[in-house]
């Protein structure tokens, strides 16, 4: 599995398709998806998956002309989790393939999800690659890889009984290693306490900046995430991974709810890092830290509060297609 910063052929996204999720924020969610798509499309090709022709027409009107629109059946718009994970072979003949993991809408929290459970394999087919079906429920937001054989995840999510109740920790780890071409899995403990929908996805708290280095969410004492963040830092350090702290976790109010609007759900694309911001005083320093963590890439801010309220951010709504080897 290549690191996210490896060269991309393109990025995949999906247009918002579950109105009841967004309630009164649906129009803003679509605007924020469009802003994220435009930010990514300035640096690499982008394909937007739309549930039907009506959604496709709406997307075409909102997106830059160079964005490719495809119509395929989908239930929701979080392609990081429902989409395929692409891997490149490290031995001859060198080629790219897609891994299609099982998807059950984060432990059947949302219905229906049968279309999303099938979209991964379809997108691999559209890319013209071979598809490998893994006997494991796994969302792309629950993992982060360094491109050199190390992957981080959280016990809270990958071992959650709503995902793979018939599999042991050892079996889950071996499936991940086998299908993604890894050498080891480093297990963190918990994700954000505010992350109720995905049960602690790692992409809300951590991101590799280079092999052997992770930018990690930290918080001050008094924040309910303090102990979990400290434990995660200790686990990374015990695994020989350097920790770069992201000490900011601002909160915004959306639909009368307090929403954690962190910065770690960033997306690394060709020559840029797409970063969610919420208008907090900490936005400039967070962008500076991220630009420093990914030298040679522009840190590009996009609206993040409504996406966070809906359950994610730029990373959750994108899925990279790495360049073929």
At 289 the pLDDT is 99
For residue 53, how many C-alpha atoms fall within 13 Å in the half-sphere facing its CB?
Answer: 0
Which residue from 146, 144, 142, 164 is spatially nearest to 154, judged by alpha carbons?
142
For residue 272 the two structure tokens come to 């840029």
User: Is residue 5 a contact partner of residue 294, using CB atoms and an 8 Å limit?
Assistant: yes
**Which are the catalytic amino acids?**
316
The two beta strands, 206-210 and 8-14, are unpaired
At 92 the pLDDT is 86
Which residue from 316, 321, 323, 320 is spatially nearest to 16, judged by alpha carbons?
316
* Per-residue pLDDT tens over the stretch 62-110: 999 999 999 999 999 999 999 999 999 988 889 999 999 999 999 999 9
At 131 the pLDDT is 98
Whether 133 is in a domain gets the answer yes
Whether 33 is in a domain gets the answer yes
Whether 182 is in a domain gets the answer yes
**Which domain covers residue 161, as residue numbers?**
8-322
Whether 105 is in a domain gets the answer yes
CATH of the domain at 50: 3.75.10.10
Edge-first strand order for the sheet with 46-50 is: 68-71, 46-50, 8-14, 319-322
Whether 261 is in a domain gets the answer yes
Considering its fold, how many domains does the chain have in total?
Answer: 1
Whether 2 is in a domain gets the answer no
Whether 3 is in a domain gets the answer no
* Per-residue pLDDT tens over the stretch 172-182: 999 999 999 99
Whether 1 is in a domain gets the answer no
At 91 the pLDDT is 83
For residue 309, how many C-alpha atoms fall within 13 Å in the half-sphere facing its CB?
Answer: 22
- Answer whether residue 312 shows pLDDT above 90: yes
| Tokens 């393939």 -> residue | 97
User: Is residue 272 a contact partner of residue 281, using CB atoms and an 8 Å limit?
Assistant: no
* Per-residue pLDDT tens over the stretch 209-235: 999 999 999 999 999 999 999 999 999
For residue 246 the two structure tokens come to 């992201």
At 285 the pLDDT is 99
| Tokens 């951590």 -> residue | 206
- Answer whether residue 255 shows pLDDT above 90: yes
Which residue from 196, 236, 198, 160 is spatially nearest to 315, judged by alpha carbons?
198
């Amino acid at each position: 599995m290549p690191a996210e910063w490896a060269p991309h052929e393109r990025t995949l996204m999906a247009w918002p398709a579950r109105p009841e999720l967004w309630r009164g924020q649906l129009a803003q969610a679509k605007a924020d998806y469009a802003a994220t798509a435009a930010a990514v499309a300035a640096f690499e090709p982008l394909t937007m998956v739309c549930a039907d022709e009506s959604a496709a027409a709406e997307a075409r009107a909102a997106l830059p002309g160079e964005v490719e629109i495809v119509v395929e059946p989908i239930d929701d718009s979080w392609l990081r989790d429902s989409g395929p994970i692409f891997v490149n072979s490290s031995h001859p003949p060198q080629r790219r393939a897609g891994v299609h993991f099982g998807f059950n809408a984060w432990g059947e929290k949302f219905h229906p999800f049968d279309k999303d459970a099938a979209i991964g394999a379809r997108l691999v087919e559209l890319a013209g690659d071979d598809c490998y079906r893994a006997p494991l429920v796994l969302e792309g937001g629950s993992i982060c890889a360094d491109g050199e054989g190390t992957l981080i995840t959280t016990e809270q999510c990958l071992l959650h009984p709503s995902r793979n109740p018939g599999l042991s920790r050892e079996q889950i780890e071996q499936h991940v290693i086998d299908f993604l071409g890894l050498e080891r899995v480093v297990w963190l403990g918990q994700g954000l306490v505010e992350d109720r929908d995905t049960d602690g996805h790692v992409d809300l708290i951590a991101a590799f900046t280079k092999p052997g280095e992770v930018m990690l969410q930290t918080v001050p004492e008094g924040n309910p995430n303090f102990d979990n963040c400290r434990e995660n830092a200790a686990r990374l350090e015990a695994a020989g991974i350097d920790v770069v702290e992201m000490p900011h976790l601002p909160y915004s109010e959306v639909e009368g709810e307090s929403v954690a609007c962190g910065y770690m759900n960033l997306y690394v694309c060709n020559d840029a890092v797409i970063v969610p911001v919420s208008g907090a005083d900490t936005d400039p320093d967070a962008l500076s830290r991220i630009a420093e963590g990914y030298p040679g890439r522009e840190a590009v801010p996009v609206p993040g509060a409504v996406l966070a309220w809906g359950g994610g951010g730029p990373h959750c709504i994108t899925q990279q297609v790495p360049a073929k080897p």
